[in-house]
Every structure is written in C-alpha cells, then in structure tokens.
A = this chain, B = another copy of it.
Amino acid sequence: MPNLQQLIENIYAELLPQLGAGKVADYIPELAKVNPRKFGIAVETIDGGSYFVGDAEESFSIQSISKVFGLTLALGKHGDALWRRVGREPSGSSFNSIVQLEHENGIPRNPFINAGAIVVCDAILAGHRPKEAIGEILRFVRQIADDDTIVIDPAVAQSEQKTGYRNFALANYMRSFGNLGHPPDLALGVYFHQCAISMTCRQLARAGFFLGNGGRMQNGFAVIPRERARRICALMLTCGHYDASGDFAFRVGLPGKSGVGGGILAVAPGEASVAVWSPGLNRYGNSELGTHALQLLAERTGWSVFG
C-alpha cells in the first residue's frame, strides 16, 4: 500500500469539517474534561509500515479497548476454562445492561460488555492483590506496545471508582451467583485501573499488531498462538461495539473494539493494525468520527474481512 500515508491524510482532511461531532462521555466526570476536537489516526502495517496523522501522538483514556488486552492476558493464564465464566455471544443489549445476567445466572454474554470484563479482571486477580494484578496488566500492555512509558491515569481510575455505581451493581450481582471469586471491590479495583490506561493512537496501533499478525509482535515474539489471535478477532467483530457491533461489521467490516474515551482499535488480519481517536460518541457510545474514518479506510484499502 504505497500511498497509505496519503490515504489517511485525505481521510483526516475530509472529516475535519465534522470535528466535534457526537457527544463526549460524561458519566465518568474525569473523561468529560477532554477536548472534543481531538482527532488522530495511526496505522501499523504487517509489512512494517508506520503511518499517522493528526493527534496520533497524544495520550487518551483507552477505557474499554483495554478489555481486549485483559482478555488476552486472562486467556494466557486460564485457557479455555475462562469460557465457563463468560460467554462468546453478542449481547443484544447495551454495554452496562444487567437484565441478561438475571436471565442467564450471572454469566455475562461476552468479555467485552462491562460485566464480562469484570469477570475477566477477577480471573486475572486470581488470589493476588489488586495492585499486583494491575501491575501485571500494565506490564503486559507495555510489552505488546513495546513502550515502557505507558501509564495508568489515577485520576480517571478514581473518578470511575467514585461514580461507577452501575459497575458495582454488576459485580455484586455476579458475586451473588458465585461468578466472582473475589470481593466486588477488589475485582472492580483492577477493572477501573485497567480502563484508565492512557495511550496514544500510535501506541495502541502497535499494541494491537499481534492480533493482525497471527499472534506475533513486530519483533517476531509470539504473544499468543495464531488460533487464539483469530478467536479474539472473532469476538471483536461480533461483540466489540456493544449493541452496534452488527452495524460496525456491516459498515467497516473489521474486528474492532471501541472505548468511551473515543478510541477504537481495529485489526485487518494479515494487513494492519489501526487506532483512531475522536472523543465525540454516537448514541451507542462509540466514536462518531472514528467509526467514519475506519469505514473510509476499509473501503479505500479493501481491508474488509468480507472481501
């Protein structure tokens, strides 16, 4: 793809007039402070290219995108046993719905809705102290991004800890069904800190590289087996955008995971890893401009997994 840099610059320019579209997340007070006019794109191609445009080197709160990394880590620890505690199906509900849990005995539908990600954090915790589990997650993200400067924003973690009543509800609810091995406070401590990881688009694109490259990093290190990379991509495609996952697959055609911070990580298997960031969200809680950018990118590169 010789003109990829030109291509993302064109997309950036085309979307610039819409800067500020969507609504910045305000349910986590700390997130509401972000500048709504930020917009960045970064691409790492499997063949070694590295491209970016706009605010691609500015850190933002990756929020739910971190669920992909947490899942990867937990699968490494527990293997398929993890699937006894969390499903692999689209939920058909919003990211923080509790209805499905009542109907299905406290087993969350998939690891990318909040309830599922809390279970995954509980699995990472595995008897250790929250501080240790948080450290483990951060080290893992630094490793796959090959960048030791990545940090967790404590103000964001505390902001969510103070106001995340709905997540406390989900955790306590699952605990009542025996699907949480630790006290809700501890599992949530891990969860809130995982969500509070700050990364730039460039770091994020590098961190997602292994998912598009059969499990291997740019330096050849095998993070996970090819089979597992494939399966995590499948989950991202069917469940990565909550109750707009079908629409994202329809419009973009790439495995992706969004966060309420306005970031999206998308993977074009065998082609590239892409990260976009624009804080304004659509009504499903996914970045408005980011989704649009990915749609244009997939159309123009032909990277859609659907041909």
What is A's interface to B at a CB cutoff of 8 Å?
87-93, 97-103, 109-110, 165-166, 168-173, 175-176, 184, 212-214, 226-227, 229-231, 233-235, 237-239, 243-247, 249-250, 253, 255, 269-270, 299, 304-307
| Nearest CB of chain B from residue A71's CB, rounded to whole Å | 12
CB-CB under 8 A from A109, the residues of chain B are: 92
Nearest residue (CB) in B for A305 is B305
A276 CA / B226 CA spacing, docked (Å): 26
CB-CB under 8 A from A247, the residues of chain B are: 88-89
CB-CB under 8 A from A235, the residues of chain B are: 246, 249-250
Copies in the complex: 4
| Nearest CB of chain B from residue A105's CB, rounded to whole Å | 12
Question: Contact at A307–B214, with CB atoms within 8 Å?
Answer: yes
CB-CB under 8 A from A227, the residues of chain B are: 299
Question: Contact at A307–B270, with CB atoms within 8 Å?
Answer: yes
| Nearest CB of chain B from residue A232's CB, rounded to whole Å | 8
| Known contacts A89-B90, A89-B245, A231-B306, then 10 further A-B pairs from the complex at CB < 8 Å, ordered by chain A residue | A90-B90, A90-B238, A98-B169, A212-B307, A229-B306, A231-B250, A234-B253, A239-B246, A269-B307, A305-B306
Set B172, B226, B229, B255: member contacting A168, Cβ < 8 A: B172
Question: Contact at A243–B176, with CB atoms within 8 Å?
Answer: no
CB-CB under 8 A from A93, the residues of chain B are: 92
| Nearest CB of chain B from residue A217's CB, rounded to whole Å | 15
